Structure 1
Amino acid sequence: MEELKLHGFWPSSYSSRVTWALKLKGVEYEYIEENLSNKSELLLKYNPVHKKIPVLVHGGKPIAESLVILEYIEETWPKNPLLPTHAYDRAIARFWIQYGAAKGPFFFSVFRSSGEEQEKAAKEVLAVLKVLEEQGLGDKKFFGGDTINLVDIAYGWLPHWFETIQEVIGIKLLESTTCPRLYAWVNNFKEVPVIKENLPDPEKLLAHIKNIREKLVAEKTD
């Protein structure tokens, strides 16, 4: 087997996506923790365009961007598939993955803003969550049906990272009263063994996100 390495960063949900996929596939790899304040020469070499994590290096060849990496993992290790068999179902899965990627800026906006701007962003985020619940998840336990697939993994930041963001900003959007089916999915997702065993420490993550929020607020007041 060719050497496989993952360059990541412990609080990053993008890194976790890749970790979950590799572990669900049963693929062995070496994890390399990056310091994003002092990026390694290897990271800059492997991802010279964006200079970001995660980067998966397979046989010396780097693949960057988490969603691209997930597709690469699915194609390279077809055992334990994470996309549906039927072409139409795969297309629908990819649609919802792209929907989440396109709506990501709304979630960041509610995190970095305050006052009326934050209230507006919060309404936009709630609208996105409701579309995701009603049109994407529906009555299924997971986006993948009875088991998780790449869509669940792509939205895997909601159950842990977004929960922590809500705590930091003091706004509750993804709740049992607002999005009951999506809220149930959150709890089901966190109980999947591979997910549960590969989440960052909640207290460390809370401190990390608080620190980011404080820096954003300071920048706006300078």
Structure 2
Amino acid sequence: MSKDDLVLLDFWVSPFSLRVKIALEEKGLSYVAREEDIFGGKSDLLLKSNPIYEKVPVLLHNGKPIVESANIVYYIDETWASPRLLPACAYGRSRARFWADFIDKKVFDAGSSIWKSKGEELESAKKEFIDVLKKLEGAMGGKDYFGGDEFGFVDIVLIGLVAWFDAYEKCGGFKIEEECPKIGSWIKKCKKRESVAKILPNPQQVCEFVGMLRKGHGIE
């Protein structure tokens, strides 16, 4: 079995799977994406590979499972050195890990609260989501990317979540580009990258998927 025998247990619209695929593309690695039926019945391989959380993504490297998406991206960067995704200095890496953790704890949950809500709860959810994005704008400062002038680890952690942003806008009746222009500009810049453009799903399909979730939750 070769060093680069890689299988990704995947779900097409999972923002966490998307970030792993973008990291793999950035490294120029060949991999097989194995789609999981996360609603109808998870595979024995997924349950065996991630028995604690029983969820995607899982990266199998020579049969050995690596779980949790940010951890997987970190593993990819450690295992395949070029191009570097994390900063070279210890301080830069610690800062990157901090903001990646912030994104994981705040962005998806805040966005999910938008499509799960209506009325006053929806307005509160929108406010929280926009506040989170504004904090990320502050973290970016005057640079093009979170790591500075180069697309890197924090950008990858966030850009997978961007796949759902159109759905949040549609559900909430707002535009991220108007509320957070720096994030809007960053999104446009990232989407021009081959690795991102190749991986992010069609926004309309994501909106349809979120619409299905809303109906399942009795919101629509």
TM-score w.r.t. length of structure 2? 0.92
Q: Structure 1 stretches of 5 or more lacking a match?
A: none
Kindly state the Cα deviation for residue 9 of structure 1 after the two structures are TM-superposed.
0.6
Q: Return structure 1 stretches of 4+ with deviation > 3 angstroms.
A: none
Q: Check conservation: 1:159, 1:187, Cα contact below 8 A.
A: no
**Which residue in the other structure is 1:65 paired with?**
68
Q: Structure 2 stretches of 5 or more lacking a match?
A: none
SS of the residue corresponding to residue 197 of structure 1 reads helix
Q: Check conservation: 1:159, 1:189, Cα contact below 8 A.
A: no
d(CA) in 2 for partners of 1:124, 1:10: 27
AA in 2 matched with 1:43:
L
Moved more, 106-115 or 44-53: 106-115
Q: Structure 2 matches for 1:109-188, cutoff 5 A?
A: 109-134=113-138, 136-167=139-170, 169-175=171-177, 177-188=178-189
Q: Deviations over 1:155-199 (max 9, x none)?
A: 1135331122222x1421512x32111110011111111101112
d(CA) in 1 for partners of 2:48, 2:180: 43
d(CA) in 2 for partners of 1:165, 1:157: 14
Moved more, 199-208 or 63-72: 199-208
Moved more, 138-147 or 76-85: 138-147
Q: Deviations over 1:8-66 (max 9, x none)?
A: 01111111111110111112212111111221111111111111000001111111110
SS of the residue corresponding to residue 48 of structure 2 reads helix
Q: Check conservation: 2:19, 2:157, Cα contact below 8 A.
A: yes
**Which residue in the other structure is 2:82 paired with?**
79
**Which residue in the other structure is 2:213 paired with?**
212
Q: Check conservation: 2:166, 2:203, Cα contact below 8 A.
A: no
Q: Check conservation: 1:55, 1:65, Cα contact below 8 A.
A: yes
TM-score w.r.t. length of structure 1? 0.91
Distance 1:118 1:163, change over 3 A: same
Q: Deviations over 1:72-100 (max 9, x none)?
A: 11111112110010110111111111111
AA in 2 matched with 1:205:
V
Q: Check conservation: 2:115, 2:210, Cα contact below 8 A.
A: no
d(CA) in 2 for partners of 1:127, 1:206: 23
SS of the residue corresponding to residue 151 of structure 2 reads coil
| Sequence identity percentage | 40
Distance 1:196 1:108, change over 3 A: same
**Which residue in the other structure is 1:94 paired with?**
97
Q: Structure 2 matches for 1:37-48, cutoff 5 A?
A: 37-48=40-51
Q: Check conservation: 2:10, 2:36, Cα contact below 8 A.
A: yes
> Alpha carbon RMSD of aligned pairs, Å?
1.6
Distance 1:39 1:158, change over 3 A: closer
**Which residue in the other structure is 1:201 paired with?**
202
Count of residue pairs brought into register by the alignment:
216
**Which residue in the other structure is 1:107 paired with?**
111
